[in-house]
Structure 1
Amino acid sequence: MTPWAFAAAAPAMTAVVAVTVVAVVCVRTRRSRLRVTVAGQSMAPALTPGQVVIAHRVGPGGLRTGDVVVLVKPECPGDWWWPAVGGPVGEGAWLLKRLAALPGDPVPPPVSTSLGVTGVVPEGVAVVLGDNTAASVDSRDFGFVPVDRVIARVPR
């Protein structure tokens, strides 16, 4: 390639690189955030039905008691599952709850009463509760939540 041909092709190559960079940034941003529509009254008044929240994906180390989190819904009480590739993924497979206790924290009274468990939350699990306890299915019903099933946190 002659220097003149290279100079003529440079703007086109720059455009291709710029489009590629923008595409990579968009994909990474999309993968790091979840758009969740609130369904039900379990988190009222903090979150109302139909409200859309953007949650940021987070690992177990990025969680704090009091966070509103997105977690994978249990298939049936006590039986946790992770959606397989191509399987049921999306808002129907998620719950929005408040993180009430992490490993090593005392088991909250509503959970200890309903499950008959006392002491501290074991390693690898957490306790989640809805803000509106009268309308919430949470750790009082399905027990401890494996921490790896908490997939995102709603920013405060």
Structure 2
Amino acid sequence: MKQFENSRERLPWIAAVLGLVMPGMGQIYNGEMLKGLSLFVIFLVTLATGFRLTVLLPDRGLIAGALFTLIAATGIYVLSVVAAYRSAKQAEMDFMEKPHPPWVLHVALWLLGSVVVTGFVNDYVKTHIIEAYKIVGASMEPVVLKGDRVITDKTAYQRMPPKRGDVIVFVYPDDRSKIYIKRIEALPGDIITREDGQKETVPHGSVYVLGDNRGQSTDSRNFGFVPLRDVIGKVRQVYYSSGEAGARWSRVGTVIGMP
């Protein structure tokens, strides 16, 4: 028997579907605003904090750290869906006790806000913490192969200065819409010898980069020094690789180091 004549039960399958769209949205549909907001915040904090801690791990632990973070976030996602379904199924929700906007309005506003916040967090993680790149050229072979997917640590040079031998991704000076991958060969103050035999000192705030596969590399021999402000991050590990013959599973977990 319903407690209020005009009360309206929520459909469990709708609560579950909305929970799949965004953590906490199923709770919003059920009228559980605080619970929905809490689950959403926990989900975002888990992702941001997990990836922030992941980049502090040794190179060989990056994949494990990233996977653990994703599994933890997925667990929160699943918990949100299951909890929303059970709440809608077991509780007789009454929304006529107080004047409330229709649940559709609640969900629409929540969706709009969560998309904006999720986009911000996703952008923050990729811009400031960690990002994956697919290698489309052969300029760094044999250390980095065409078809490798690599993990780039964008906090590396917040903790320590660049070193000779580091493999980095950076904004291509001649076309800032492109991202290049090369190895640091010289640091500020180092003296390099150009192709014509002339010596030159690497200026302050810049690095000199070369591809390991010199014959197929466009690098500092062509476009000059790379400003440190254009260095995006340090390439640390291969998380997946594929070529013409298919997946190269032996490459998974490869730490990017010296040739």
TM, length-normalised to structure 2: 0.44
- Give the letter for the 2:40 counterpart: V
Of 48, 67, 73, the match for 2:166: 67
Partner Cα distance (2:197, 2:204) in 1? 18
Percent of paired sites with the same residue = 34
Corresponding residue of 1:128:
209
- Give the letter for the 2:37 counterpart: V
Partner Cα distance (2:43, 2:190) in 1? 43
- Deviation at 1:122? 1.3
Of 1, 13, 16, the match for 2:37: 16
Corresponding residue of 1:3:
none
- Deviation at 1:23? 1.6
Task: Tell me, yes or no, if the aligned pair for 1:115 and 1:143 is still in contact at 8 Å.
Answer: no
With over 3 angstroms needed to count, the CA separation of the structure-2 counterparts of 1:102 and 1:115, relative to structure 1, is farther
- Deviation at 1:152? 0.9
Corresponding residue of 2:233:
152
Aligned pairs for 1:88-99 (under 5 A) are 88=177, 93-99=178-184
Partner Cα distance (1:115, 1:144) in 2? 16
With over 3 angstroms needed to count, the CA separation of the structure-2 counterparts of 1:72 and 1:135, relative to structure 1, is same
Aligned pairs for 1:36-115 (under 5 A) are 36-58=133-155, 59=157, 61-75=160-174, 81=176, 88=177, 93-107=178-192, 112-114=193-195
Indicate the structure whose relative CO is greater, using CA pairs within 8 Å and at least 6 residues apart.
Answer: 1
Partner Cα distance (1:45, 1:12) in 2? 54
- Give the letter for the 1:138 counterpart: D
Task: Tell me, yes or no, if the aligned pair for 2:174 and 2:223 is still in contact at 8 Å.
Answer: no
Please list the CA deviations of residues 44-87 of structure 1 after superposition, one character each: whole Å capped at 9, or x if unmatched: 000111110010114475421111100101226xxxx4xxxxxx
Partner Cα distance (1:55, 1:16) in 2? 31
- Number of aligned residue pairs: 128
Residue 45 of structure 1 aligns to a residue whose secondary structure is coil
Q: Which has the larger radius of gyration?
A: 2
Task: Tell me, yes or no, if the aligned pair for 1:115 and 1:140 is still in contact at 8 Å.
Answer: no
Corresponding residue of 1:30:
126
With over 3 angstroms needed to count, the CA separation of the structure-2 counterparts of 1:62 and 1:120, relative to structure 1, is same
With over 3 angstroms needed to count, the CA separation of the structure-2 counterparts of 1:121 and 1:75, relative to structure 1, is closer
Coordinate RMSD, CA, aligned: 2.3
With over 3 angstroms needed to count, the CA separation of the structure-2 counterparts of 1:14 and 1:67, relative to structure 1, is same
The structure richer in helix per residue is 2
Partner Cα distance (1:116, 1:96) in 2? 25
- Give the letter for the 1:17 counterpart: S
Partner Cα distance (2:226, 2:131) in 1? 20
With over 3 angstroms needed to count, the CA separation of the structure-2 counterparts of 1:66 and 1:98, relative to structure 1, is same
Task: Tell me, yes or no, if the aligned pair for 1:66 and 1:100 is still in contact at 8 Å.
Answer: yes
TM, length-normalised to structure 1: 0.70
